[in-house]
Structure 1
Amino acid sequence: MVEQKLAELKARLLEVDNINAAASVLSWDQSTYMPPGGAQARARQLATLQQLSHQKFTDPAIGRLLDDLQAYAESLPYDHDDAALIRVTRREYERATKIPQDLVAALSAHISQSYAAWVEARPANDWARMVPLLEKTVELSRRIADCFPGYEHPMDPLIEWADPGMTVATIRPLFAKLRDNLVPLVEAITAHPPADDSCLHRTYPEDRQREFGERVIRAFGYDFNRGRQDKTAHPFMIKFSIGDVRITTRFKENDLSEGLFSTLHEAGHALYEQNVDWAYEGTPLANGASSGVHESQSRLWENLVGRSRPFWEHYYPHLQATFPEQLGDVSLDTFYRAINKVQRSLIRTDADEVTYNLHVLIRFDLEAQLLEGSLAVKDLRDAWNARYESDLGITPPDDAHGVLQDVHWFGGVVGGAFQGYTLGNIMSAQIFNAAVNAHPSIPDEIRQGQFETLRTWLTENIYRHGAKFLPLELIERATGKPLDIADYIAYLRRKYGELYPEAVKA
């Protein structure tokens, strides 16, 4: 009886996954090859598939199957695959069924209006136009949270969507400690002249950039038999199945770092998805554990590997051979400093390793205050500018470079979208340290352009588990200790202490 019900549950979940995958194919095409004239029909097609998927997944029959299987799940060890499948499916089912359809419709209609207004308001520097719209978004975001009673903070249910098991109460202390360490570090480094990165802004033909980047990610272990890379305006990774995980990038011929590090970043996401246990295919387990864990892998491969000195000791001669006219007169030291330049900046997506998280912490704190009611939307701009001055020592010259810069609050709910970026950075260092502690040869292997030991350890301890464990559970299982900022701060101090010895004490 149990086997029959479990088989029925998996069959229903596979049908939902097939519909979602079809929608993902259409979405990928829209961002890569679709002609502009297809936009109206594509929106209609995606809406139809999304509605069909939602109907299939919220079918009461799935709820009954989960209820019937609950006793079976409770009889199993926590880490049994069947127990995890029932647990994770129930979490997603309750999330999908607890929000009334009229609220979903109201939010969707409002977000469409808000996003369209933001597209015009940001370049026009028109904050006043967005204030009433953002007030409505905050109200709707609170109503979404209220569909999940029992929370300590109204942002908790919204965080749960992206980073299950985490709350404002678990994240705030972590971020407060991080800020206490980062603000003086930024002040110390930026008190000295920035690195010269002019070598990155010579002319780099796109075809050679692409060839070099793909050579690197093949070495990382990205499987082109189960993936491909295409161009898009805003790079992303997308999965249709474990056997089809694609990445996108963008190139600028006057900025070598844009395409290269975008490629490494998205390949990190893809390595995670390509190495999930095949037994989870077509179920909710065949996904990353959270946005933070996913970001940890893109950041690990982009930064801890791809911006490291050992990596470039191997790859810089190959890069020089690819671009002899552009880099023939540039030393490894100069190039390494250029790709790790630290400077105060206004735009989150342009920020370096040291300053980036301060941008995220500002947004996390402000959106928490908006939702709890301690900050009014009309006062958000002033609060934003004050935090940029106190944390980064810089004040936005206008709202386009300030409170209007990110789409998140104007194209979605307020809350739950930003914390994963910084959680990923913190996790990346803790995970990498655990891998090196298990295999001390990893840095030397990276110096030789070899990544199999690192990738194998990551697959065994992170990737293969998919969404089986909550993020904090996964991190503690993989690293042997709870999530903490210590490894990340030590990594930044060690790396940037070598780059800026006069400013940073390791």
Structure 2
Amino acid sequence: MDSQEQSLIQSFMRRSRELIDLKSVLEILTWDQETMMPSRAGPFRARQFSALSALYHQKLTSPDLGETLERLSTEELGLWPQAAVREMRREHEKAVKLPEELVRELAETTSLAYGAWVEARQKSDFASFSPWLEKVLKLKQEEARCLQFSDSLYEALLDHYEPGMTVGRLDELFAVIRPNLTSLLHQILSASKQPDRDLLKGKFPAAQQEAFGRDVLTAMGFQWDAGRLDRSPHPFCSGLSPLDVRITTRYSEEDFCSSLFGMIHEGGHALYEQGLDPEHYGSLACDGISLGIHESQSRLWENQIARSRAFWDHWFPRLLQTFPGQLDHVSLEDFVHAINRVEASLIRVEADEVSYGLHVILRYELEKQMVEGDLKVQDLEEAWNTSMKEYLEIVPSNSAEGVLQDVHWSMGGFGYFPTYLLGNLYGAQIFHQVGEELPDLEESIAAGNLIPLREWLGQQIHGKGKTVGAEELIEQISGKPLNSDYFLDYLKNKFTPLYGLS
């Protein structure tokens, strides 16, 4: 590479770092809004989001940046610079199709809509939130029309979260998964061997829940000098940089499982963020490959690891010590069965591994219909309840445990939901390969040593950033394309003995 090419790369990276820094500031504002911001500050925060989003858009759509990307796209670059240019060009080409006024309005409206959602959820009042959802949906449809590259409006929004994935591919995967999940769910619910529903009831102070969760996160490899844990209405992970990763959870003093598995789930996301190479921070290539791959990490830690017998061989005695007198009557075998209880439940984030996928497919179908104009917001709650009856044979008694339970639509996250189920598919296929390459993993987990798994995931996934795509990564790891059989086989192999199925 001659001096002129080197100078061009350096100029590009300066622009890239500036954009990434601006994006991180927006992330900090989001994190603050969901954790610490006073409730009355909403309108001012919305204006801040609008102003900074417009500034980010102006810099991303700069003609000079476009020319630089055009010149660099013809150069022979190394793996990381090539990925950085490719990802920036992808973002630039999408951004130039969006009017700045739309960017401003979306940022401000979604910020205000989030506050409206929090209040509506507390009051279980969908009617008060629906006008905001209509505004957000209308703006997202306008965005999708600007970005549309296929017959599907929805696909333009899906591409934000899972690049390269199509509606056709999702429909194909979900058409196989849904009947299998439904069949397994019915078998389990009809089984004579059922866990005691009241087994894990007790009094679990939030402070002790947090202390125990912190110990588990530490064992997973979470770096506290590069991260923190807080509370929020909806658990999330915010990766501002590999050295600043923030996770949240929520507590119920009657149910320690909600916060614990929430922390482990978000901790899986956090390990991915902390596992990105800080040397490449400032490049769009220093990021998670896709939300589906990101979700594979959180679901793998939450389910394949933290709901396993091996995990609790080590952690169960410590749990008993943390909550003296609350679980002394519970055996380890009964405990493991109880934390893997399968039921038709109302809340997605607390759903078991079998019914969870049905929750996701339901949301995917509804949001796809909304974006395509086939479902009006005013009809959404009825459609939600009808779908819950069809998918899980239960109906919410109020809006908070139904259509208002998730934050995503208030923040404009149409296209996000299917990545949760993709994460289960990716995660099962990845974990199958982990078992092939780390044959002593179960013994390691039972001894409380989770670091070999974290290191394997770091080498095989986290450290690669966006130098590969999602499907390419899965083929690199497993030698095969994405296949739902790994996930379905994992569920059958796990729940057949737990419930005594034939």
Query: TM-score, normalising length from structure 1?
Result: 0.90
Report the residue type matching 2:328 in the other structure. Answer: G
> What do residues 153-184 of structure 1 show as CA deviations (whole Å, max 9, x unaligned)?
21111000011111101111111111020011
Residues 8-29 of structure 1 show CA distances to partners (whole Å, capped at 9, x for unaligned) of: 1111111122222233334434
Measured on the aligned residues, the alpha-carbon RMSD in Å equals 2.6
2:385–2:395: 8 Å Cα contact kept in structure 1?
yes
Q: Cα deviations across residues 183-221 of structure 1 (Å, max 9, x unaligned)?
A: 111111122475224343311233322222212221111
Question: By how many angstroms is 1:6 displaced?
Answer: 0.8
Correspondent of 1:3 among 1, 6, 12: 6
- With normalisation by structure 2, the TM-score equals 0.91
Whether 2:441 is the aligned partner of 1:449: answer no
Give the letter aligned to residue 447 of structure 2: Q
Q: Given the alignment of the two structures, is residue 235 of structure 1 paired with residue 238 of structure 2, yes or no?
A: no
- Counterpart CA distance in 2 for 1:357 and 1:248 is 23
- The residue number in structure 2 matching 1:476 is 475
Q: Which amino acid aligns with 1:468?
A: T
**Structure-2 separation of matches of 1:29 and 1:383:** 33
> Secondary structure in 2 aligned to 1:330?
coil
Paired letter, 2:437: A
Q: State how far apart, in whole Å, the 1-side matches of 2:210 and 2:131 are.
A: 44
**Unaligned ranges ≥5, structure 2:** none
Q: Give the superposition deviation at 1:462.
A: 0.6
Residues 341/106 of structure 1: CA separation in 2 closer, same or farther (3 Å cut): same
Match of 1:475, SS state, is helix
Distance 2:308 2:378 in 1: 43
Out of 64, 69, 72, the position equivalent to 1:61 is 64
Distance 1:117 1:99 in 2: 26
Note if 1:317 corresponds to 2:308: no
Whole-angstrom distance in 1 between the partners of 2:445 and 2:329: 25
Deviations 1:326-367 (A, max 9, x none): 122211112112211111122223322111110110111222
Q: Map 1:182-331 onto structure 2 (within 5 A).
A: 182-192=181-191, 194-331=194-331
Matching residue's letter, 2:358: L
What are the residue-to-residue correspondences of 1:109-188 with 2, within 5 Å? 111=110, 137-188=136-187
What is the aligned partner in structure 1 of residue 92 from structure 2? 93
**1:454 partner amino acid:** L
* Change in 2 beyond 3 A, CA 1:135/1:224: closer
Q: 1:49 to 1:384 in 2, by over 3 A?
A: closer
Paired with 1:108 and 1:378, the residues of 2 have a C-alpha distance of: 23
Q: Give the Å deviation of 1:109.
A: 5.7
1:374-393 alignment to 2 at 5 Å? 374-375=374-375, 377=377, 379-393=379-393
Evaluate the alpha carbon distance shift between residue 437 and residue 466 of structure 1 in structure 2; reply closer, same or farther with a 3 A threshold.
same
Give distance in 1, aligned partners of 2:107 and 2:52: 16
- 1:279 Cα deviation after fit: 2.9
Percent identity, please: 42
Tell me the residue number matched to 1:488: 487
d(CA) in 1 for partners of 2:402 and 2:74? 52
Following TM superposition, by how much is the alpha carbon of 1:127 offset from its aligned partner in structure 2, in angstroms? 5.7
Q: CA contact under 8 A between 1:445 and 1:451: conserved in structure 2? A: yes
Query: Structure 1: which amino acid aligns with 2:435?
Result: V
Q: What letter corresponds to residue 159 of structure 1 in structure 2?
A: L
Cα pair distance change 1:440/1:68, threshold 3 Å: same
Q: Which runs of 5+ in 1 are unaligned?
A: none
The residue number in structure 2 matching 1:460 is 459
How many residue pairs were aligned?
Answer: 498
What secondary structure sits across from 2:239 in the alignment?
Answer: strand
Superposition deviation, residue 380 in structure 1: 4.2
Residue 404 of structure 1, CA deviation: 4.2
Match of 1:23 in 2: 26
